[in-house]
Amino acid sequence: MCGCGEPHLGRGHYAPTPTLLLTLLLSSVSFGLLGEETRQVSLEVIPGWPDLPQNLLHIRAVGTNSTLHYVWSSLGPPAAVLVATNTPHSVLSVNWTCLLSPNPDGGLMVLPKDSIQFSSAVVFTRLLEFDSTNMSEAAAQLPGKPYPPYPLAEFSWNNINDSLDPATLSATFQGHPTHDPTRAFANGSLTFKVQAFSRSGRPAQPPRLLHTAETCQLEVALAGASPRGNQSVFGLEIATLGHGSDCPSLQEQHSIDDEYTPAVFQLDQLLWGSLPSGFMQWRPVAFSQKQGSRESTLPCQASPLHPTVEYSLPKSPIVQAFFGSQNSFCAFNLTFGTSRSPGYWDQNYLSWSMLLGVGPPPLDTLSPLVMGIMAVALGIPGLVLLGGGLILLLRHKQYSEYQSIN
């Protein structure tokens, strides 16, 4: 562990400030930090060396008796460390000397250490590209023949101070390959837009994921890059911390309601261990246009998670700085689109969104529109049955009151 230099403490002053009821109650009792309807949220770019791009973003979300820390960085491959504590007074400590050294262990800490209730990390390791030309219907589930991937650790990234927006609680990492001999990214870029929230709601743009004060959203967009084939399908390799030899679980949820994301009835989520813990959540769709219309919807397919013992992943300095070097990782791929239109090639654009959070994942309930339709659909037959019953009852009463003249 590094022990040199003075750490930088994330600064800021904060005032202390649903889902299944049983799950929420149990989670709140055992975790002591969930169920906050609102949080006091701040974004801070942690200053580093003057001659390096400022690329360490700290999101601090303070509740009544807890704090959530999200640390995003493009040092190495883009990555996020999420930490939940049981105190509203926990702070982030950054030792830049250690963080930028070959052995960054201890360069990133949340203090006090004994307040940490949960922590994990996500690393975006490679941008994938496949040639889907001449893919047969029998092999439609396969993305195609792979091109050499783009290692995201070898991208050059912008200074996020230029995109920091306290009003919307957002910041954007924008990058392109450092070495681009084919000039595929001469007019293109890959962006990671991070946004935090102080309360529950939905964005205006699809897929309109339901967020809470205990989540932040990531939107990944590939724009303007020249594909290496006429029908290229792109994807992302994502790595996360495992638990010994076990990988986090990947689950699918289904609903009859598609009001917020038309024609999409599925919600995918990755869970770290049993609740309460942390999660990733996304709709299995991407979009080939900025406005995210139904006509530009691309299917998003996730491969099973697998341990990465057979090959090495590019190391994230912030993950190693917080968790140490002896960790097991699991990885999976997300691919966006098929060989059929729409596709990235329509406008050389692709976007996909996910939530990263702590506690029970937000649970979609039936929208007022769907509930109204169901009420009408179920109410009319009910009224018919009720009316028929009343008519039979009245007829029975009339017959029972009839007196024979004999």
Each residue's pLDDT tens digit, 319-331:
999 999 888 899 9
Distances, alpha carbon 8 to alpha carbons 47, 50, 113, 306, in Å: 8, 14, 16, 36
Both tokens of residue 348?
Answer: 């050389």
Give 25-79 pLDDT, tens digit per residue.
333 333 445 567 899 999 999 998 887 778 999 999 999 999 999 999 999 999 9
| SS3 category, 365 | coil
Nearest to 360 by CA among 241, 272, 232: 272
Q: Residue 372 half-sphere exposure, CB side, CA atoms within 13 Å?
A: 4
Report the pLDDT value the prediction gives residue 28, as an integer from 0 to 100: 38
Report the pLDDT value the prediction gives residue 4, as an integer from 0 to 100: 53
Give CA–CA dist 390/64, Å, rounded: 56
Name the H helices within 61-184.
96-99
Distances, alpha carbon 405 to alpha carbons 144, 397, 402, in Å: 90, 18, 10
Both tokens of residue 82?
Answer: 């999420």
pLDDT at 298 over 50: yes
> Does the pTM exceed 0.95?
no
Strand (E) or helix (H) holding 23: helix 21-31
pLDDT at 400 over 60: no
Instruction: Kindly provide the b/e burial profile for residues 65-74, where b requires at least 16 CB atoms within 10 angstroms of the residue's own CB.
Output: ebbbbbbbbb
Give 114-147 pLDDT, tens digit per residue.
999 999 999 999 999 999 887 654 455 567 899 9
Report the pLDDT value the prediction gives residue 14, as an integer from 0 to 100: 31
Give CA–CA dist 394/255, Å, rounded: 43
